Chains A and B, each alone.
Chain A
Amino acid sequence: EVQLVQSGAEVKKPGESLKISCKGSGYSFTSYWIGWVRQMPGKGLEWMGIIYPGDSDTRYSPSFQGQVTISADKSISTAYLQWSSLKASDTAMYYCARQLGYSYPDYWGQGTLVTVSS
């Protein structure tokens, strides 16, 4: 069974750094892309970018380029999304999802809620 399990909810202050994770199992982690999707409170889905864990090839949506960093450690089947300096506007639910390139996400993680507040 394909599963993506994300790390738990985080509460941070503006300016702090953060790295959240997404662990894949039940399939060949290095053969599919992992994408990250943001959902701000009460809003729709926004595609942030993807990484291919096999060779760490990473692509970003122009809206998120330079704002976040996507990485992966294939040895532990885990992808990451990180911020170096959080802003209140980063408050959102973040989902990871398995993708075949840019085609479509099929399996999704349960989501990680990030709250940034002073």
Chain B
Amino acid sequence: QSALTQPASVSGSPGQSITISCTGTSSDVGGYNYVSWYQQHPGKAPKLMIYEVSNRPSGVSNRFSGSKSGNTASLTISGLQAEDEADYYCSSYTSSSTLFGGGTKLTVL
């Protein structure tokens, strides 16, 4: 199974909104509502930001939101802050594994 497809990089200015896409197939992203998103700062472990497409764990800012349409999931970060600069990964359930996206580097200008 191939990794999910994410843009290599996105950028935005403080206060703006950005969206990161995650494209898979009907066997993963499109077939199940088990898409999750992770934030990873340099030298740190990944942190769960969104699970089951659009749910936020306790403690995660409501500036982070998730959605899905067909085989593509999206993570939107509104009101960008400097601390949001990090790598972001999507993940999806499949019938035989867990798949990750290649990762997107978010730069806050």
Contact = CB atoms under 8 A, between A and B. Distances in A.
Interface of A: 35, 37, 44-47, 50, 59, 61-62, 95, 97, 99, 101-111
9 contacts: A37-B100, A44-B101, A44-B102, A45-B46, A103-B98, A104-B48, A104-B98, A106-B57, A108-B47
B97 interface: yes
Contact of B3 (A44, A50, A95, A104): A44
B89 A44 contact: yes
Contacts, number: 67
A48 B45 CA distance: 16
B34 A103 contact: yes
B103 interface: yes
B99 interface: yes
